[in-house]
Amino acid sequence: MSQEKFDSTDLKILDALQRDGRLSNVDIAEQINLSPSPCLRRLRRLEEEAVIEGYKARLNRNRLGLAMTVFVQVKLRSHSADSVAGFEAAVQQMEAVVNAHTVSGSADYLLEVVVADLEGYDLWVRQIQQLSMVREIESNFALRAVKADAPLPL
Amino acid sequence: MSQEKFDSTDLKILDALQRDGRLSNVDIAEQINLSPSPCLRRLRRLEEEAVIEGYKARLNRNRLGLAMTVFVQVKLRSHSADSVAGFEAAVQQMEAVVNAHTVSGSADYLLEVVVADLEGYDLWVRQIQQLSMVREIESNFALRAVKADAPLPL
DNA sequence: TAACCTTGAGCAATATTATGTCGATAATTG
DNA sequence: CAATTATCGACATAATATTGCTCAAGGTTA
């Protein structure tokens, strides 16, 4: 739809930053063989156009005591606008939910939930089950991360 | 297992950085009401202990022409060490796979795959189906992101 | 109580960064 | 081919950031 707007230099900047979000402009410039001034111009443009939505630190969940990641498939009772809006608002307020998508297939939503332990998960499940618009959930516990938060293929 | 190692000041630093990974040390210090020197000491410690695993720019997939996100459940033919190792090595090399976990439940793996369009997905599926250790895959297309890459609950 | 350990505040020196300007060059378009 | 536009490299500057050092305060332990 729009990737024609970005030349290979833009992509190199984006790729450098998705691998190390704290690179300074001069470091990026050096890495992609460009001088700092045009590099900064491009970077600012990419930020303004919201191609870069933000920056974040990648934290180690286990070391923070968040040892449990669960993928939860949710089916709603009805797909009325109210049900959908209510469910999504609830999901957005739940801090344990770090990712949520509507999906094709037999489930309506796929959520990624992060909690400390089984007890924390139990508490969260009770919250979700109290939502009247939820018909059914199926939990799949992440046993091991094979690949996490890898860079996008640019 | 280990969150006793972090006091509330550490958590404030981590929380600030997972929301804005480019904050300077002085900005973090101001945000959490601490002077820059101890703030930097803590930050460096958190980096050295790999509580902070790195930093990354959050890119807008749609604007980059990566309009399709697919969650793929994979079942293996056998769970021999060779099958597992071979499959995981293949997954790690596929750039379209941005997340991969082994999971409980009927599937062995849950993958998140990012491609430009259906054609790109078709190409990827053929790659995966050529792996002899793969018995079956089920694709669930992400229709809409309700929540993406939200901060961890600290 | 005294010694000790941890952690914070303040300050200074250094290094680094972001950012604007300007002329040159390359690409594009009519 | 000429004119226009876009983009680059180089340089200068001003603002910021990082980092080390020292001293003080608070809490802990023997």
| pLDDT tens by residue, B29-88 | 999 999 999 999 999 999 999 999 999 999 999 999 999 999 999 999 999 999 999 999
| Segment A18-41 mean pLDDT | 93
Long-range contacts of A4-11 (CB under 8 A, 24+ apart): A6/A51, A6/B64, A9/A34, A9/A42, A10/A42, A10/A46, A10/A51, A11/A154
CB B38 within 7 Å, strand C: yes
Asked if B123 is an interface residue toward chain A (Cβ–Cβ < 8 A), one would say no
| Whether the predicted pLDDT of A3 surpasses 90 | no
- Architecture of the A7-48 domain: Orthogonal Bundle (1.10)
Domain residue ranges of chain A, discontinuous segments joined by +: 7-48, 68-141
Lowest mean per-residue pLDDT among A34-38, A129-133, B94-98: A34-38
| Segment A31-38 mean pLDDT | 92
Cα–Cα nearest to A104, from B60, B126, B144: B144
What's the pLDDT band for B4 if we cut at 50, 70, 90?
low
CATH number for domain B68-141, candidates 3.40.50.1860, 3.40.50.1980, 3.30.70.920, 3.40.50.20: 3.30.70.920
Asked if B89 is an interface residue toward chain A (Cβ–Cβ < 8 A), one would say no
| Per-residue model confidence as pLDDT tens digits over A78-116 | 999 999 999 999 999 999 999 999 999 999 999 999 999
pLDDT of res. B119: 97
Write down the residue that tokens 């089984």 correspond to.
Answer: A118
| Segment A48-69 mean pLDDT | 95
Write down the residue that tokens 């790659």 correspond to.
Answer: B127
Percent of chain B clearing pLDDT 70 (strictly above)? 97
CB A32 within 7 Å, strand C: no
What's the pLDDT band for B2 if we cut at 50, 70, 90?
very low
Please report, rounded to whole angstroms, the spatial distance between the CA atom of protein residue B65 and the C1' atom of nucleotide D8. 27
Residues with Cβ within 8 Å of B40's Cβ and at least 6 positions away in sequence, in order, are B25, B29
What's the pLDDT band for A5 if we cut at 50, 70, 90?
confident
In this complex, the residue of A53, A114, A142 whose CB is nearest that of residue B152 is: A114
| Segment A131-137 mean pLDDT | 97
pLDDT of res. B1: 40
| Segment A39-54 mean pLDDT | 94
Residue B94 identity: M
Percent of chain B clearing pLDDT 90 (strictly above)? 96
Cross-strand partners of A61: none
| Whether the predicted pLDDT of B95 surpasses 80 | yes
Asked if A40 is an interface residue toward chain B (Cβ–Cβ < 8 A), one would say no
pLDDT of res. B5: 81
